[in-house]
Amino acid sequence: MSKNAISNSVIRRLPRYYRFLGELEKNGYDKISSRELAEKMSLTASQIRQDFNCFGEFGQQGYGYNVSELRRQIGIILGLDSKTPMILIGAGNLGTALASHLDFGSVGFRLVGIFDTNKEIIGKKIGDIAITDIERLPDFCKTAKPVSAILCVPDTAVEKTVESLVNLGIRAFWNFTHCELHSDSEDIIAENVHLGDSLTTLSYRINSEKH
């Protein structure tokens, strides 16, 4: 079965399965039934079986899933062993927080460079990586060949930044700006993070309780 046929909502659930299975592993679980996993994740057992069936047979009827093996297989599907080279554009507060707190290696990436236009912070280190002047990006790309970028630039700079990054061979964007990038253009893959949507959901939950 082609992976491209898998629905977006299944894909969105995979990282959560992977995370939950990691917790189970840590807590000493060897195997788990779809019913038990469903309860823990607030899903239905049939939903879980359907999701996993998209990728082949993971469990055995009446036995349940082997936690480590299931996690390993989902990790392969997610490409977590690939260590895709990634750069950060924009080392303000948000960029700095992402570069210092995220474990890129565990989610399929390798942070290889950090770039900014602000001369005052150039040379400063975030973890092991020194912030570099964005003017040096073209040379950097020739040797390091990053294919993905985190966008933490002002909204006014997005269009120009994306254009020049695409010209330098970068095709995948983790986008924290307020400008939505569209993946449907054939050249780029974009994951737009809308933190405001998450906060809006919290607003709904608080207010729906009042009625």
> Restricting to residues 65-124, which ones interact with a copy of itself according to CB under 8 A?
77-80, 82, 84, 92-94, 96-98, 100-104, 106-109
From the CB of 60, what's the least distance to a copy of itself, in Å? 25
**Residue 1 interacting with a copy of itself (CB under 8 A):** no
Distances from the Cα of 53 to the Cα of 34, 74, 81, angstroms: 12, 12, 22
**Residue 211 interacting with a copy of itself (CB under 8 A):** yes
**Residue 207 interacting with a copy of itself (CB under 8 A):** yes
The pair of three-digit structure tokens given for residue 50, joined into one six-digit string: 């359907």
**Residue 50 interacting with a copy of itself (CB under 8 A):** no
- 3-state SS assignment for residue 66: strand
The pair of three-digit structure tokens given for residue 88, joined into one six-digit string: 């950060």
**Residue 196 interacting with a copy of itself (CB under 8 A):** yes
48/51 Cα distance (integer angstroms) = 5
* Segment interacting with a copy of itself, rule: CB under 8 A, options 30-38, 50-58, 136-144, 182-190: 182-190
Q: What is the DSSP string of 121-190?
A: GTT-EETTEEEEEGGGHHHHHHHH---EEEE-S-GGGHHHHHHHHHHTT--EEEE-SSSPPPTTSTT-EE
**Residue 197 interacting with a copy of itself (CB under 8 A):** yes
Measured on CA atoms in the order 26, 30, 36, 38, is the torsion positive or negative?
positive
**Residue 55 interacting with a copy of itself (CB under 8 A):** no
The residue ranges that bind a copy of itself (CB under 8 A) are 3-4, 8-9, 11-12, 14-16, 18-19, 42, 77-80, 82, 84, 92-94, 96-98, 100-104, 106-109, 147-148, 172, 174, 183-184, 189, 191, 193-209, 211
